Each structure stands twice: as C-alpha cells, then as structure tokens.
Structure 1
C-alpha cells in the first residue's frame, strides 16, 4: 500500500511541475502582450497642440489674483500636455511668464479625447513691480523637449482685461483645477 501513494505522489509532483511551467509560459506571453499593447498605445499618443486642443481662460474665485487656463483635447487621439504653457500677457509682451517650478507634476499629463488639463496663473502680487492691465493672453503649448510649439493661440482675458505685474507666474499642467490653483 505504501507503493501506490508514493507513485501517485511522484505523478502529482511531475504534474505540478508541468502545470507550473505552463502557467509561467502563459504569464510571460501575457506580459509580452501587455508590454506590446502599452508600447502601441504610447506610440499613438500625440503632443497636445493648438490644432487638437481647445484653450480657455477664466478668472478663479480663489485664490485672488489667479486665472485658470484649461486645455481640452478635441482630437480623436490621446495627447500629452508637456511641461507648462508658454504665456504672453498682452500683445506687446517681450517675454513669457516664468513657470512655477514647485508645481512640476510627477508625470506628463495625458489627455484622452474630451479630457482637460489645467494651469494656474498668478497675475500679480504686492511684492511684484510695475505692471499693466492686459486684454489678451498669448498661449504656446510645449513639445516633448519642452520647447514652445510654433502655433500661438490668443485668448481674450476676462472682464475686459487683467492686471499683471513682475510676480506673474504659471504652473505646470495639472490633471485637475484644484492642484493648478494650489500654487
């Protein structure tokens, strides 16, 4: 009687090894297919540009002296909202607003069709110098390398104009408005 259980036990062990090997092979194949699918999806994501993105700017209720820039993907493919927008306050602006480095997200914001990214704009601070009321905001989006794209979108600022001084800054793109207005 002892012989039978041992032979069954060896057969069960051999079967277990075969099953484990088969499952491992399936796992490797599934991981490869997942990686391939992720690579294909990533390669089909484009850069958010003014051609595939609707831009709007609104006055934020809080905090004071802030605007909210919203970029909505109007294209048929997902797009990356790289870095932060390049903004020119007023038609005669010689330089873009500096980016708030402390607002850098952990990853590039990816927008599926219909989704939005947000950037908070501090327009002035009592610590800032000079300033003027501007009626327009020129917006350039960034490419993968962080360079401004060649297409500018000019937006009308709320209330017929907004005061900007030397303290004006813009955040990096965020995936929600609350985070964009936290800086």
Structure 2
C-alpha cells in the first residue's frame, strides 16, 4: 500500500513538473513572439512618413536655374546694337521729301499758300525790264509757297513760262505776317522777244504741292501800271525767301 502510494506521488510530481515546464515554455514563446511583433511594428512605423513630411530637398541648396535670367525673358539673348528690326524702321510717310520709310514724325504738312495772302506788284529799276511780286501771309498759320506763281496777263491763253533755274533748294515757308518773293522778267533786254504788247491786268494763281494745276484759292487780280510791256520772252521765277534772291533771275 505504501509502495503504491509512493509511486503515485512520484508520477504526480513528474506530471506536474512536465506541465509546469510546458507552461513556462509556452509563456516564454508567447513573450518572444510579442517582443518580436513589437520590434517589427516599430520598424514599420519608423519607415513610414509622418503626417507632415519635411521637404526632401535642402532649402539652402542652390536653385537649378539662374533667377536673374528667369526674371528676364531675354536673359539668354545678346544685347544687340540698338537698331530696330525690319519692321523697324528709319523712314517719313507723307513728308516733302526723303527716301525710305521712317517712323519719325515729320509734323503736319503745311497748307499751300493762296487762301489767306496778299499779293502786290512792284516795278524795279534793276534788273532792267523786271517787276517784283510780293506774297504776304495774312492768315494765322504758316503756309508753303510751292513752286512758282501762275501768271496770266490779260486774256492770255497760256500761263507765263517759269525760269526753272530759279528753283530754290527748299520749299519756302511763310509764317504769319511774313512774305515770299518772285521776279518777273517782262521782256528780254536785247529786244529778242516777239509779239510784244501792253498788258493792263495780271492774274496770279497758286501752285499746289504736287505742282500740277492750281489750288482752289481764287487768283489775285492786279491792275498793272500803265505801259507794262510783255513779249514772248516773259518769264517768272520760283518763289524765294528774300527779295534779293528773287531779283537774281
């Protein structure tokens, strides 16, 4: 009886020891797995980006483009020589002269004289057989005395011939109150003219800028001194800026 009881106790102790050993082993395995899971979870969190991620570039690093060039659309273009392109242009649309098409403003084109002028006729001693026309601007704006006056003595069918050698270098502009001048050679001094006759009236018309025809201004009609003689050699000069220049022709 005692021997059986002893054997049973021994078996019980062994069974209990084995169970305790198994329990300790199970608890140890669970703890190891928990530690490993915690380590794995910590590693995974550390590799994911936080909610507010910092920039991946260094804010002090040099930019990839030059700000000075980016600010100017022509940063990479050469400075050039200051001249304009085609289109640019150096020329004068609507002016009295010049070649090429420039963008510089020539100012307003002057009106041809004739509408607001006073024309007078004067005899002169020198040169012989000459007279002087004086055209004074009575208006409030300057005007241009284009080409030569257009003359008709009495009922002449054609205008008096113009001395083309008297053409001035530039158009004569008459300011308000100022005058332009033209000389009339009434007859050749050597008597070489033909069809001489005495004229009583002179009509003076005004040339336009184009030189073709006359302006719309009414002609100035002048009563001539007695015994004003003309012939086929009668000529008139272009308008001049001074009396002396006019009487050279």
The verdict on a shared fold, with TM-score over 0.5 as the criterion, is yes
Q: How do residues 144-155 of structure 1 correspond to structure 2 at under 5 angstroms?
A: 144-146=209-211, 147-150=213-216, 151-155=218-222
Report the alpha carbon displacement of residue 64 of structure 1 after superposing the two structures with TM.
1.0
> Secondary structure of the residue that 1:174 maps to in structure 2?
coil
Preserved CA contact (<8 Å) 1:120 1:181: yes
SS of the aligned residue for 1:178 comes to: helix
Structure 2: how far apart are the matches of 1:53 and 1:103? 22
Question: What is residue 199 of structure 2 aligned with on the other side?
Answer: 134
Aligned to 1:80: 144
Whole-angstrom CA distance in 2 between matches of 1:131 and 1:94: 15
Q: Matched residue pairs, number? A: 143
- Between Structure 1 and Structure 2, the one with more strand by share is 1
> For residues 39-85 of structure 1, what are the alpha-carbon distances to aligned partners after superposition, in whole Å with 9 as ceiling and x for unaligned?
33x33x32101x21100001012111001001000110000000000
Task: Describe the SS at the equivalent of 1:102.
Answer: helix
Partner of residue 166 from structure 1, selected from 226, 232, 247? 232
| Contact 1:58–1:157 (Cα < 8 Å) also in 2 | no
Contact 1:81 1:109 (8 Å CA) reproduced: yes
Offset of 1:166 from its aligned partner? 0.3
Cα distance in 2 between the residues matched to 1:164 and 1:157: 12
Contiguous gaps of at least 5 residues in structure 2: 1-81, 83-103
- Using the TM superposition, give the Cα deviation of residue 161 of structure 1 relative to its aligned residue in structure 2, in angstroms: 3.9
Do the aligned partners of 1:136 and 1:161 also contact (CA within 8 Å) in 2? no
**Are 2:108 and 1:108 aligned?**
no
2:125 to 42, 61, 75: 61
The structure richer in helix per residue is 1
1:60–1:129 distance in 2 versus 1, CA, 3 Å: same
Which one has a bigger Cα radius of gyration? Answer: 2
Contact conserved, 1:86 with 1:139, CA < 8 A, in 2? Answer: yes
Alpha-carbon distance in structure 2 between the residues aligned to 1:97 and 1:171: 10
TM-score, normalization: structure 1? 0.74
* Deviation sequence 1:93-119 (CA, Å, 0-9, x none): 111110000000001000000110000
Runs of 4+ in 1 over 4 A off after TM superposition: none
Q: 1 CA distance for matches of 2:117 and 2:241?
A: 15
- How do 1:10-49 residues align onto structure 2 when only pairs under 5 Å count? 36=105, 39-40=106-107, 42-43=108-109, 45-49=110-114
| CA drift at 1:89 | 1.2
In structure 1, the gaps of 5 or more residues are 1-23, 25-34
